[in-house]
Amino acid sequence: MSLRKAWKSCANVLGVGALCLVAASCASPGWTEAPVPYIGPAQPDPERQSTGSIARPSTSRSSIPATQTPAPPDGALEITVGDAILLALENNPALSVERLTPLIRETVEGEERAVFDPTLQAGASASRERVRAPSRTTGAITDTRTSRTEASLGISEFFPTGTDVSIALTTDRDWSMLYSDQHATRVGFTVTQALMRGAGLEVNLASLRQARLDSLSSRYELRGFAEALVADVETTYWNHALARRRIDIFEQSLELAEKQFAETRERVEVGTLAETELAAAQAEMALRKEALIDARSNLAAIRLRLVRLLGVPGDGLWERDVVLKNEPAVPDAKLDDVDAHIAVAQRMRTDLNQARLSAQRGDLELVKTKNGLLPQMDLFISLGKTGYADSFGASVRGLDAESYDVSAGIDLEFPVGNRRAQSRHRRAVLTRGQIEQSIQNLNQLVQMDVRSAYIEVHRASEQIAATEATRRFQEEKLRAETEKFRVGKSTSLLVAQAQRDLVDSRISEIQAVVNYLNSLVDLFRLEGSLLERRGISAPGREPAPMPSAPDRPID
């Protein structure tokens, strides 16, 4: 095969390559804008439910209903605990802000992906020169004028293998008073391949993979925020119910204290009791009023917190009353053994999954810094063909002539000592080891959290029966003390003390139920299954893969 035919074959290949690069530049880069992360009621997943990967769900009255009760535009807000959770997931302003974080992180993915996108390049320039100088032959002053026009068009792309490919078409026109127009048109193809530093898919894709890990981590972060919000809504809901019950109890106790004061005053007036007995009854009545004032203030503060969490749109948010449709009651929930809850936590805790992703990110950083220890050695090959003529068209046709240029070589660069790269690699190794130790520490903290919450659930459960028994005994004690007072064998002070004890026992009884409900919420939050148990779908459902072991630090 002649050199001319070989060059024609090469030119055909270059043309096909140029078309491919142009097509690649117009094609989608494989990265599209992600939708806003969905957080809301999940569709039933029988296949997942049958696996038993989550410890058996709670069947309490706090389960999320399938549909949301719409909130009225104004007036009292009547909601169940499920409605409260769904309203918060839809309207809470802090969650709305947090939803944008994964979308912001995903823009970094697009930025890193753009490194491998084709780049179109074009340019044009023109210059003109006038020179007045003595002639070397005659010594006379001559006026010489020249002009030059240049234009270029090309496309280049960097591939993850460490290969940089570019195709360019350049043309220039030279004109002078001393000679006629000269046109030169060149088509060239250049390939540069990294042989050491920057070579291979692993190192060139590391930054893109790190950006994807950061995006995934932000989704776990969003899930953790949503889980904390749901827990906050539930506990605030039950604390609101407790505050209302406290007001009811204090109102009833105040009414009882007023009746006791009235009865004491009547007996003082008829002379069966000394007037000093009135002081104890009056003091008890004043104490009940103080407690009622504090209870109402506490309810108002909890109501503000609840409506803030719900974030219901509309005017008069802070003035709207909240009517709870669910009353605190002991749920029909059976816990598994603590080891099962710990296993769930090690799969679903968002902070643990984020730590694992951080370890994977550290592995990729090790790949980058380890590659940075190598010398920069690039192999380049450049093929070109130039046509010369007195017009542009003729210069293009001149590309078919038997002329060409080829250049090839190797560029080598290596900093003396390479201390910067070594410091970066050592920092990456030490940081990766630190992350590994932090994961081990976090595993222990997760186990401690779950075990402590598990103990608290059992303590709160046992307190319910104990406080119920105490309340019954206090009722009997007050009844007996009241009968003794009526027959003159007791005093107003003892009756008041029995009344206070009964009030405290009634509050302790409802407090025990609320504590039990809140302790269940806290346990499910700490094991990372609260959203699943409440039927809420959110990003970060699947556990992050376990990271590999780090390398040893270099000396």
pLDDT number for residue 316: 73
Q: Please give the pLDDT value at position 545.
A: 82
Cα–Cα dist 110/208, whole Å:
9
3-state secondary structure of 16: helix
Q: Give residue 491's pLDDT.
A: 79
- What pLDDT shows up at residue 135? 63
Buried b (16+ CB within 10 A) or exposed e, 115-134: ebebeeeeeeeeeeeeeeee
Q: What is the pLDDT of residue 490?
A: 76
- Asked if 241 contacts 327 with a C-beta cutoff of 8 angstroms, the reply is yes
Q: How far is Cα 489 from Cα 482, in angstroms, rounded to an integer?
A: 10
Q: What is the CA radius of gyration of the chain?
A: 40
In the numeric block, the tokens 């981590």 are attached to 217
| Cβ-based neighbour number of residue 225 at 10 Å | 20
Q: What is the pLDDT of residues 128-138, one digit of tens each?
A: 888 776 766 66
* CA pseudo-torsion sign 47, 53, 59, 60: negative
* Under-70 pLDDT residues of the chain: 1-36, 43-75, 133, 135-140, 143, 177-180, 548-555
Q: Where are the alpha helices (DSSP H) in 164-205?
A: 201-204
- Phi/psi for 553 (5° steps) reads -65, 145
Q: For residue 448, how many other CB atoms are within 10 A of its CB?
A: 12
Task: Enumerate domains of the chain plus CATH numbers.
Answer: 3-30+119-159+163-197+376-413 (no CATH), 85-112+207-365+423-537 (1.20.1600.10)
What are the φ and ψ backbone dihedral angles of 246, each rounded to 5 degrees? -60, -40
Alpha helices in 373-491 (DSSP H): 392-397, 419-486
Task: Report the alpha-carbon distance of residue 76 to residue 240 in Å, rounded.
Answer: 15
Of 122, 180, 183, the closest CA to residue 151 belongs to 122
- Distance of alpha carbon 446 from alpha carbon 426, whole angstroms: 30
Buried/exposed 316-340: b ≥16 CB within 10 Å, e otherwise: eeeebebebebebeebebebeebee
